[in-house]
Amino acid sequence: MGKVTGFLEIDRQVHKYQPASDRIRHFREFTLPMSDKEVEKQAARCMDCGIPYCHGPTGCPVHNQIPDWNDLVYNGDWDNAIRNLHSTNNFPEFTGRICPAPCEEACTLNLEDIPVAIKTIEQAIADKAYETGHIRPYPPERKTGRRVAIIGSGPAGMAAAQQLGRAGHDVHVYERESRPGGLMRYGIPDFKIEKHYIDRRIEQMQGEGVSFHCGINVGVDKPVAQLLAEYDAVLYCGGSETPRPANIPGDDLDGVHDAMPYLVQQNKRIGGEPIQSVAWPSPPIVAGGQHVVVVGGGD
């Protein structure tokens, strides 16, 4: 836990934002980092629940040991905090930015609408680990001689590749787009996660022996039968790109678009890539100069 009386003495605090007048001038993240001392104070609010719902079945889907690393951060032990966080989470710098944080909803302090700032602390641990050089390639001590192919380089494919690579297997990831990351790269705007965070994880994984093959559409450019013949195992880690139908009058009219094709195109524009591909052949969608209505308040 953190400080015994921390939740009584310390108010909840999370990242502040750049002023709107600044953040409309760029597409990057606009949160302002908290200092180490501020993060340690927030970790002190963790109250050592008898049943920590934050990492139970209603909280964290990957079962992060949240009270443990809150206590480590509160005591200034950032190195062991990232070791603990990495024991359950391959990419905390991703989840610390884009996870909807069901852990905070499940936090006991949320009974008073003031949960521990778990997501903010998680991101701070990961960013601190990069600053201190803790996150670097950890290649396996010995190789198994087994070869594994992974179809899809989104978060599931990347996590599977990292785990299998560290187990000593020869791992090859196939991605039909020109860059790895899946919808984490192409479906989530830069203001929520800048894509250099994905790039540096890819570099770490390449340093551990994982190979990425981009621009290969498995089943079209490379038959699945060929993968099955070349590799000892094949993992399918493709995500869902089919929007849920709105089924409302007028959703078939010109100028009405699902979010995903627009987001993919805009992320490609910002990333300097051609907006059309085999995977996304839809015509250009441009919102500039238009009156826009967004239906739905989720991500």
pLDDT of 207-228, one tens digit each? 999 999 999 999 999 999 999 9
pLDDT of the residue at 279? 60
Tell me whether residue 16 is in a domain: yes
pLDDT of the residue at 145? 96
- Which of 178, 212, 236 is the last residue before a domain boundary? 236
Looking at the structure, do residues 69 and 115 belong to the same domain, yes or no? yes
- Full DSSP string of 40-56: HHHHTT----SS-GGGS
Tell me whether residue 96 is in a domain: yes
Tell me whether residue 136 is in a domain: no
Looking at the structure, do residues 93 and 176 belong to the same domain, yes or no? no
Token pair for residue 64? Answer: 């992060």
CA dist 128 and 125 (Å) reads 5
Tell me whether residue 138 is in a domain: no
Token pair for residue 244? Answer: 């849920």
Report strand pairing: 16-17 vs 31-32: antiparallel
CATH of residue 40's domain is 1.10.1060.10
pLDDT of 56-87, one tens digit each? 778 999 999 999 999 999 999 999 999 999 99
How many domains is the chain built from?
2
pLDDT of the residue at 160? 98
pLDDT of the residue at 239? 84
pLDDT of the residue at 242? 81
Tell me whether residue 154 is in a domain: yes
Looking at the structure, do residues 127 and 151 belong to the same domain, yes or no? no
The amino acid at residue 283 is P
Tell me whether residue 276 is in a domain: no
Full domain range(s) for residue 105: 6-131
Tell me whether residue 200 is in a domain: yes
- Which of 131, 164, 196 is the last residue before a domain boundary? 131
pLDDT of the residue at 1? 64
Regions of the chain with pLDDT less than 70? 1-2, 277-281
Tell me whether residue 112 is in a domain: yes
The three-state secondary structure class of 18 is coil
Token pair for residue 4? Answer: 């015994």
pLDDT of the residue at 277? 67
pLDDT of the residue at 27? 92
Looking at the structure, do residues 22 and 126 belong to the same domain, yes or no? yes
268 sits in which H/E element? helix 259-270
- Which of 208, 236, 264 is the last residue before a domain boundary? 236
pLDDT of the residue at 278? 59
Looking at the structure, do residues 56 and 103 belong to the same domain, yes or no? yes
